[in-house]
Amino acid sequence: MPLYEYHCKKCNDDFEELVSVSAQHNPACPSCKSEETEKKMSMFGGIGGASGGSCSPRGGFT
C-alpha cells in the first residue's frame, strides 16, 4: 500500500498514513482524532511550506 502524507486542518499536524487505494475517506488525525485531514501531494517532494534549503533525498524523514 502507498504511504501518503496528510495534513490535519484542525491542529495543523502532519502525519503519514498507509492507505488503500480504495479508501474513500481520509484517515483520522493521530493527534486530535479529527477527520478534517487532507492528502498532501508529495510526489515531487517540494510543495511550498518547507523552507529548508538542503537537497536531502525524499523519504529521509522517519
Binding residue for Zn ion (CB under 5 A) from 3, 31, 38, 39? 31
The three three-digit cell numbers of residue 62, written as one number: 522517519
Q: Give strand ranges (E) for 1-62.
A: 3-8, 14-18, 37-40
Q: Which CB, 26 or 29, lies closer to Zn ion?
A: 29
CB of 40 to Zn ion, least distance (A): 14
Q: How far apart are CA 32 and CA 40, in angstroms?
A: 18
26 binds Zn ion (CB under 5 A): no
29 binds Zn ion (CB under 5 A): yes
Q: Which helix (H) or strand (E) holds 61?
A: none
Sites of contact with Zn ion (CB under 5 A): 8, 10-11, 13, 29, 31-32, 34
